[in-house]
A and B are shown apart, each in its own frame.
Chain A
């Protein structure tokens, strides 16, 4: 009995103190012997901190200079991760410059305008201690296409504050598994963001809507997840016909998240129910419920100071900081990719 009690105490102590002696953290998959591997270092996330880091690497040459295919992704994050996103680097604004090298801590890594045209590859919002991995074998016959030398950014965001905590240390691993298929269907991605949002004291329960079209249509949605912060109460995504100006009926809804800090990544097993017709797209809705900002983050005075519109209404506006700003972002995966690039709507 005493030994059992002692074990419980030890467990409580580990969780409460953030001691990671018994925590192994996420690791790369040793079975991935032919694909691509990337891992961050293990890093501290101090109490009260939000850390966003951008790591860069080039895709290796795995096919004698030719493009190659990846049909399984495994993106793992130590608990406490707010998000881990992977993008293909395109236009360089102020992030990913040669002078910055392969690593940028905070600063430009927090400014979304720096990667506005960078297509999404994959993302993971799993912050639980139970899992930590988004491990996805793509639908049969579907794969991502990569080019040798293609620049990739892995972005990690850890929070150890009030609304989210990091009990151990931060770390992210990425395994991309090379496909043996010679001519698979190409996986495409869609990233949509509603940035002109305000969640204010005078209008505390707003809903924001946006739409995003697949330019060619006739695609199948394979997976989706939504992202907002702690004022977010409900995140819905619907199939949309591309011509209606009313919210689609409930029967068209294919995604819902009501848990902002651990939203589901929904993978759709039945492709027949996830097809979007020609000229179609998605309609998404973010619902919020304003609450008083915490004094330790400056309260309303801090929000008012950061409000570019200087409304003095204690408004949470679009931004990356979990404690003091909000998001309304869609991450979606579909096939076939028909266009020259993936889809971004903002």
Chain B
């Protein structure tokens, strides 16, 4: 029994994502790193990192925070929870915000990046480093010349696309309502996220985030 536990531990470590995996993690097929059932289609949820560092699963028509990232402007930090997914190796995710629901409607912002997922206690895979901004797509939405409406207070379609290391694909879309989430720079947010804003137009001073909140 001890030998078996050691082997499982070593296999998890070899995957590079086993360090914090709880003992009752979901179904993990050694270094195939598969979380869930490989015969099932990938199941995805959109999660959001908010301005206070909270992580929440997004439901239809939920408000989602517009946050000033280190690179400036405003982004939505959007990530995934997933099952029936291969987590051995980085998962490539692409987050996008669409001005409408039709495939012909314009993309307002898009960001693609690799993330490492680990099995959680409920059988889903989650970000290995959930407090890291880089574990989420930094969907850049302000300033923006592509949208026909203000970014805040309006419904947009948020989509997360996933490609795992086994070349399995998945995608999930949900309607969300972005809002300026940081009180200390709300005036600047509402200025640069307003429809028609052009970079360089006069806006209130956009102070950087204080030390608290999103890391």
Task: Tell me whether A and B are bound partners.
Answer: yes
- A interface vs B, CB < 8 Å? 90-91, 113, 116-117, 119, 193-198, 202-203, 206-211, 213, 215, 242-247, 279, 281, 283, 285, 308-311, 318, 339-341, 343-346
Q: Which residue of A lies closest to B104 (CB)?
A: A243
Interface string of B187-201 (1 = CB under 8 A from A): 000000000001110
Contact size range, B? 35 or more
> B200–A90 contact, CB under 8 A?
yes
> B113–A340 contact, CB under 8 A?
no
Instruction: List 6 A–B pairs whose Cβ atoms lie within 8 Å, in order of A's numbering.
Output: A196-B70, A202-B16, A213-B107, A247-B112, A310-B215, A318-B71
CA A194 to CA B109, docked complex, whole Å:
12
B10 interface contact, C-beta 8 A: no
CA A247 to CA B159, docked complex, whole Å:
15
Kindly specify which of B40-48, B118-126, B129-137 makes contact with the partner chain.
B129-137
> A196–B105 contact, CB under 8 A?
no
Which of A207, A242, A343, A345 is in CB contact (< 8 Å) with B106? A242
Which of B90, B103, B161, B200 is in CB contact (< 8 Å) with A91? B200
Known interface pairs A90-B200, A195-B71, A309-B133; A242-B146 also in contact (CB < 8 Å)? yes
> B159–A245 contact, CB under 8 A?
yes
* Closest CB in chain B relative to A215 CB, distance in Å: 3
Number of A-B residue pairs with CB-CB distance less than 8 Å in the complex they form:
108
CA A27 to CA B209, docked complex, whole Å:
45
Known interface pairs A196-B71, A215-B145; A209-B198 also in contact (CB < 8 Å)? no
B138 interface contact, C-beta 8 A: yes
Question: In the complex, what residues of A have CB within 8 A of residue B75's CB?
Answer: 196
> A243–B106 contact, CB under 8 A?
yes
> B107–A245 contact, CB under 8 A?
yes
CA A116 to CA B200, docked complex, whole Å:
9
> A203–B90 contact, CB under 8 A?
yes
> A206–B116 contact, CB under 8 A?
no
CA A309 to CA B49, docked complex, whole Å:
15
Interface string of B61-105 (1 = CB under 8 A from A): 000000001111101000000000000001010101010000111
Given A206-B113, A346-B140; 16 other pairs, CB 8 A cutoff: A113-B72, A117-B199, A195-B72, A206-B90, A207-B113, A208-B112, A209-B111, A209-B113, A242-B107, A242-B146, A243-B104, A243-B107, A245-B96, A285-B112, A309-B131, A318-B70
* Closest CB in chain B relative to A95 CB, distance in Å: 14
Interface string of B171-215 (1 = CB under 8 A from A): 000000000000000000000000000111000000000000001
> A211–B107 contact, CB under 8 A?
yes
Question: In the complex, what residues of B have CB within 8 A of residue A343's CB?
Answer: 145
> B138–A339 contact, CB under 8 A?
no
Question: In the complex, what residues of A have CB within 8 A of residue B129's CB?
Answer: 311
> B110–A245 contact, CB under 8 A?
yes
> B72–A207 contact, CB under 8 A?
no
Known interface pairs A209-B113, A215-B145, A245-B96; A346-B107 also in contact (CB < 8 Å)? no
CA A210 to CA B95, docked complex, whole Å:
10
* Closest CB in chain A relative to B48 CB, distance in Å: 16
Known interface pairs A113-B72, A308-B70, A346-B140; A203-B146 also in contact (CB < 8 Å)? no
> A196–B72 contact, CB under 8 A?
no
CA A310 to CA B211, docked complex, whole Å:
14
